Amino acid sequence: MDAPGNEEQPDPESGEGLTPRQARKIRIVLASVLMAAMAAVLVVRLASRTSVLVVGVYGAALVLCGVVIELSRNGRTRLGTWLLGIGLAAALAADWLLLP
């Protein structure tokens, strides 16, 4: 019988899943790529139609990506993943519904 605290950790090379550190890095990279994509879409949308609503929707999406990066850095990867998915879906829905 092992003493408490001596539980075996999953081996990262055994294919059982990601370590917490790997999950954080993946979410940070994903949020960074999505942030760059939102910035590019913002530039394209502003070139075609200048509107405060466009800046608001895509500005909020950029802030959301930054928040997710910080959450991931602090170990809140699941919360960050849900927030990123729901927030970006809401931003795209707002673009489709609200913006001409």
Q: What is the pLDDT of residues 9-44, one digit of tens each?
A: 555 555 678 888 888 899 889 999 999 998 998 898
Tell me the torsion sign for CA atoms 25, 66, 83, 59: negative
| pLDDT tens per residue, range 52-72 | 888 888 889 999 999 989 988
Cβ-based neighbours of 67, under 8 Å, separated by 6 or more = 80, 83
How many CB atoms lie under 10 A from the CB of residue 14?
7
| CA distances, 97 to each of 4, 13, 34, 81 (Å) | 55, 45, 21, 24
**Residue ranges of the domains in the chain?**
19-98
Name the nearest CA neighbour of 77 among 4, 13, 10, 22: 22
